[in-house]
Chains A and B, each alone.
Chain A
Amino acid sequence: MQPLEGYRVLDFGSAWAGPMAAQLLADMGAEVIKVESRARMDGLRLGRPIVGDDVAGGDRGLWPDLQPAFHGFNRNKLSITVNLKHPEGVALIKRLVPMADVVTNNFAPGVMERLGLGYEELRAIRRDIIVVSMPAAGESGPLKDIIAYATIIHALSGLMSMVGYEGEPLVGQLQAAWSDALAAMHAAVATATALYHRRRTGEGQYIEVSQWEATTSMLGEAIMDYAMNGRVAGPMGNYHPMMAPHNNYPCRGDDRWVSIAVASEEEWQAFCRALGDPEWARDTKFADAFQRQRNRAELDARIAEWTCQHDAHEVTEFLQGAGVAAMTVMNIEDQFLDPHFRERGFHVEVEHPKVGLEWLYGQPWLLSDTPGSVRRHAPLLGEHNEYVFRQLLEIPAEEYERLVKEQALY
């Protein structure tokens, strides 16, 4: 049994935030039907294919089933291709709505309404439907139509203004689509909560997730500092007001690092003992947390002299054995090969009809009684048209053929 078994979701998402939100529901057992079309492919179906090197063709959509990023965020889903520009396309969707519990999208504001699939219309078909929209900047306000990707949202939200080394020019980038994942998780928790509410009261509802607001909502510390002191937070590197040492230190090898965080006097003593009680550590400059914080540049240099002689994994094991919070700064290869993460199913292998065995990420949280799972590969484009239209909607063969021929199903 899985938490969302028996619930059905229509997913109009594209790119990352929308599809990932629906995928988090799919992992928990919901039947998610991804609505796509050759006329409007999910952007993640475009680009350099996994197999072969036809980048130009990939960019034109010739390899929709061979995109690795797409596979991660669309596993466990079914795919139908409905041409929403065809006069019968929207009508077909409306026939599915009575069987759907949730409809998700990350279109720009107003797109669903213009298609005739706005909340009021869907609600008229199914009174307790839950509709989730995830526009980048929300559905109102002067910037509601802004063209936004993750980095653009990072910039607007305030998060980006704090990324960098202490007291230096901004670095800014995170090399990861932070706001997409964040918005997806926010949308998924809101949806699950709305389903819980519906189960108890019978009431459906509309949920708006502004990806920008979702990102800003977690910056309380900096916002409070501004509210209290008028101070504008800037890059702080790995500085932490309550811990020193607290940094990533170089280790033996190319671009290898270990994180070390010392939270108490007891841990500091343990750390010094582990290093063999070096002379420098007895200096009054490092006598207490306040002094260590004040002299942290020198402290970090001292520690680096020691760490750079050792392997990052060895430092981790050695210091953890002494009761100090050390951890290898892992890259994806470290994570992938790590015995701890392997045991916890961080990555899972899935059979894909066109790629063969491939690795995807596993469940980020483990539920003991009703765990999520990766049950099926990301769907091929239109793979489930027959199941959805012939079996679920019971459309006769002849009419189905006509819809395909006329490119309503395309």
Chain B
Amino acid sequence: MSRMALEGVKVIEWGEYVSAPFCARTLADMGADVLKVEHPRGDRSRRHGPFPGDVPHREQSGLYLALNANKRGITLNPSKATGRAILLRLLESADVLVEDQGASFVDGLGLDYVSLKERFPRLIVASLTPYGRTGPYRDYKGHDLSANAAGGISFGNGTPQREPLVVPAAQVSFMAGLGAALATVMALVAREATGRGQLVDVAEAQVVGVLLTGYHLPTYIYKGIPGYRAGNRFRLGLYPNCVLPCKDGYVCINCPQMEQYQRFLALLGNPEWTNNPRYRDRRAMTEQYPDEAEGLIIPWFMEHTKEEIFALCREHRIPCVPVQTIQEVVHDEHLASRSYFQELGHPDAGRLTYPGPPYRFSATPWGLRLPAPTLGQHNREVLCDLLGYIPDDLPRLRAAGVI
């Protein structure tokens, strides 16, 4: 096997749930040696599920398994003095610390960045928090829901007048983890030149906030529109750009180019209404009377299945595809032809399907090598073999709540 791109890079992950673990997972997939430092009560994602047969089991939570593959794991409570001492010893040989503990908490433990920098000048500290380590909200509490709210992404998601929605499946936290991984690798590149580590301060809300910068920011600044929800359609732009029901599910259509729209109308048999001037202004159809405009084409979609619609639209080069369910994605022929999904065994959870790589490198492989660690799986290996504790010390550390 060829060398992996981040081989030899040692990462300590002191985080839980989604964003920090996904950051470390992204680095692990490219070869970094990630050691997950987990509170003895276990990462909260172990209680999140999904579980086989819906029976909670700390080693079988799907979210935990997906986020923590390719890592080794120990239990450790850095709130205890001994736990802190062990963490500091682990940091001696680490290149990166990924943590999500919050500024005031790490400050209180004497693990603030200034202290860490003094001891480990080459260490890169990637800090993930909902709002960041500076500013008036630095100590505010937050979760994925809060990052969705502050990041501005929820406001546009949902139906007008009803409550705004989060991006599903904790995707905002995933994106924050990805942004943190990107910034961390930049810091690694910088360290090659400077020899110094640094603090990477990632505000989860701010990462997802980049999504509002393309159109929402100028739409606000130049037109004074602060935001909107538009349900199943894009509020601005050219008709049709929406999600519509069909015979057996939903399809998504988006025809920004006039030729695409004309091919679509031809497929519908150029119906009579296309001659009505009211239905010739595609901008007005989206922005002024979208319900009426969508009503013109829904009957055609309702007569056909997703598969029929997809086949016809591909043939006529119309951008319209099925809204695939998770089941359809897992069995998708295109992804199968690219050997996208991967299988991995786990001692408690068994053999399962995992999502595959987001990118493919020609020289340095991406790899799913290890299942997620069971709680404290590598305690002995790390504490005894690496740090020189003797096996008899472990029960004592466990009893003291350190591991």
Residues of A within 8 A of B (CB): 1-5, 16, 24, 28, 50, 68-69, 72-73, 119, 137-138, 140-144, 146-149, 151-152, 154-165, 169-178, 181-182, 185-190, 192-197, 199-201, 203-210, 212-214, 216-238, 240-243, 246-250, 255, 257-259, 261, 263, 320, 323-336, 339-341, 343-344, 346-347, 358-361, 364-370, 372
The yes or no answer to B47 lying at the interface (CB within 8 A) is yes
- CB-CB under 8 A from A370, the residues of chain B are 186-187, 190, 194, 198
Q: Could you tell me if A366 and B200 are in contact, using CB atoms closer than 8 angstroms?
A: yes
Which residues on the A side are within 8 Å of B353 (C-beta)? 223-224, 226-227
Do B135 and A155 touch (CB < 8 A)?
A: no
Tell yes or no: B265 within 8 A of A by CB.
Answer: no
Q: Does B233 contact A (CB under 8 A)?
A: yes
Q: Which chain B residues border A237 with CB–CB below 8 Å?
A: 165
Q: Which residues of B contact A181 (CB under 8 A)?
A: 175, 210-211
Residues of chain B from 210 to 226 with CB closer than 8 A to chain A in the complex: 210-222, 226
Q: List chain A residues, Cβ under 8 A from B131.
A: 340
Extra contacts besides A50-B222, A160-B324, A329-B155 (8): CB < 8 Å:
A175-B229, A196-B5, A216-B356, A218-B358, A224-B50, A243-B145, A339-B135, A367-B198
**1/0 contact string of B150-184 vs chain A (CB within 8 Å):** 11111111110111111111110011001111110
Question: In the docked arrangement, what's the CA distance between A142 and B349, Å?
Answer: 33
Contact across chains for A148 and B62 when beta carbons are under 8 A apart? no
Distance in angstroms between the alpha carbons of A170 and B8 in the assembled complex? 46
Question: A164-B165, A197-B5 known; A361 and B217 CB under 8 Å?
Answer: yes
The contact sample of 20 A-B pairs, CB cut-off 8 A, is A141-B337, A151-B241, A161-B250, A171-B165, A173-B231, A175-B228, A178-B171, A192-B186, A205-B362, A207-B361, A213-B338, A218-B22, A221-B169, A224-B50, A224-B65, A238-B145, A323-B141, A328-B149, A365-B203, A367-B186
Q: Are A364 and B179 in contact (CB under 8 A)?
A: yes
A248 CB contact (under 8 Å) in B134, B142, B163, B179:
B163
Known: A158-B325, A220-B354. A367 touches B190 (CB 8 A): yes
Please, how many angstroms separate the alpha-carbon atoms of A190 and B54 in the complex? 36
Assuming A213-B340, A249-B163, is B199 touching A186 (CB within 8 A)? no
Contact B164 A165 (CB under 8 A): no
Q: Which residue of B lies closest to A343 (CB)?
A: B135
> What distance in Å separates the Cβ of B199 from its nearest Cβ neighbour in chain A?
4
Question: How far in angstroms is the closest Cβ of chain B from A53?
Answer: 11
A216 to B134, CA, bound (A): 33
Residues of B within 8 A of A159 (CB): 168-169, 171
Which 3 residue pairs of A and B lie closest in terms of their CB atoms, listed nearest first? Answer: A220-B66, A224-B62, A331-B227
With contact pairs A219-B355, A369-B190 given, residues A327 and B146 touching in the complex (Cβ less than 8 Å): yes
The reply to whether B212 and A335 form a contact with Cβ atoms under 8 Å apart is yes
The contact string, 1 if C-beta is below 8 Å from chain A, for chain B 1-16, is 0010110000000000
- Given the interface pairs A175-B234, A369-B196, the reply to whether A213 lies near B169 with Cβ below 8 Å is no
Residues B325-339 near A (CB distance < 8 A): 325-330, 332-335, 337-338
CB neighbours (8 Å) of B108 from chain A are none
Q: In the complex, are the beta carbons of B231 and A332 less than 8 A apart?
A: no
Give, as a whole number of angstroms, the nearest-CB distance from A321 to chain B: 10
* Chain-A contact segment, one of B80-88, B266-274, B313-321, B393-401: B313-321
Q: Which residues of B contact A161 (CB under 8 A)?
A: 250, 323-326
Complex Cα distance A365/B228, Å? 26
Known: A160-B323, A248-B149, A346-B209. A170 touches B171 (CB 8 A): no
Please state if B358 and A225 are interface contacts (CB–CB under 8 Å). Answer: no
Q: If the complex has contacts A237-B165, A325-B141, are A199 and B254 also in contact, measured as CB distance less than 8 A? A: no
Q: Determine whether B192 belongs to the interface, using a CB cutoff of 8 Å to chain A.
A: yes
- In the complex, what's the smallest C-beta–C-beta distance from B174 to chain A, in angstroms? 4
- Write the B61-78 contact mask toward A (1 if CB under 8 angstroms, else 0): 011011100000000000
Given contacts A141-B335, A171-B243, A216-B355, contact A189 B135 (CB under 8 A): no
**Which residue of chain B lies nearest to A70 when distances are taken between CB atoms in the complex?**
B214
State the Cβ distance, A149 to closest chain B Cβ, in Å. 5
The prevalent SS among residues of B at the interface is: mixed
User: Of residues 78 to 132 in B, which have CB atoms within 8 Å of A's CB atoms?
Assistant: 113, 130-132
A182–B5 contact, CB under 8 A? Answer: no
Distance between Cα atoms of A176 and B228 in the complex (Å):
11
User: Is B386 in contact with chain A by the CB < 8 A criterion?
Assistant: no
Give the residues in chain A near B360, CB-CB below 8 Å: 207-208
Selected contact of A361 from candidates B169, B187, B210, B354, CB within 8 Å: B210
Query: Do B252 and A330 touch (CB < 8 A)?
Result: no
Contact A176 B211, CB 8 Å, known A3-B189, A333-B220: yes
B124 CB to nearest A CB, Å: 9
Chain B residue nearest in CB terms to A224: B62
Contacts of A206 in B (CB 8 A): 361-363
Instruction: Give the chain B neighbours of A218 by CB distance below 8 A.
Output: 22, 169, 171, 174-175, 178, 355, 358
The closest CB in chain B to the CB of A180 belongs to: B214
Q: Chain A contacts of B26 at CB under 8 A? A: 189
Q: Is B140 an interface residue (CB 8 A)?
A: yes
Instruction: State the CA gap A5–B190 with chains docked (Å).
Output: 9
In the complex, residue of chain A having the shortest beta-carbon distance to the beta carbon of B50: A225
* Given A171-B158, A221-B66, A263-B143, A1:B194 Cβ within 8 A: yes
User: Please, which residue of chain A has its CB at the minimum distance from the CB of B150?
Assistant: A327
A163: chain B residues within 8 A (beta carbon):
157, 165, 167-168
Contact of B334 among A4, A142, A261 (CB under 8 A): A142
Min CB–CB distance B25 → chain A (angstroms): 9
Q: Return chain A residues, CB-CB under 8 Å to B402.
A: none
Q: How far is the CB of A245 from chain B (nearest CB, A)?
A: 10
Closest to A312 in B: B149
- B53 touches A (CB below 8 Å): yes
Least distance between B66 CB and chain A CB atoms (Å): 3
Interface centre among A2, A335, A339 (most CB of B within 10 A): A335
Most chain A CB atoms below 10 A, which of B174, B260, B317? B174
A304 (CB) vs chain B CBs: closest residue: B163
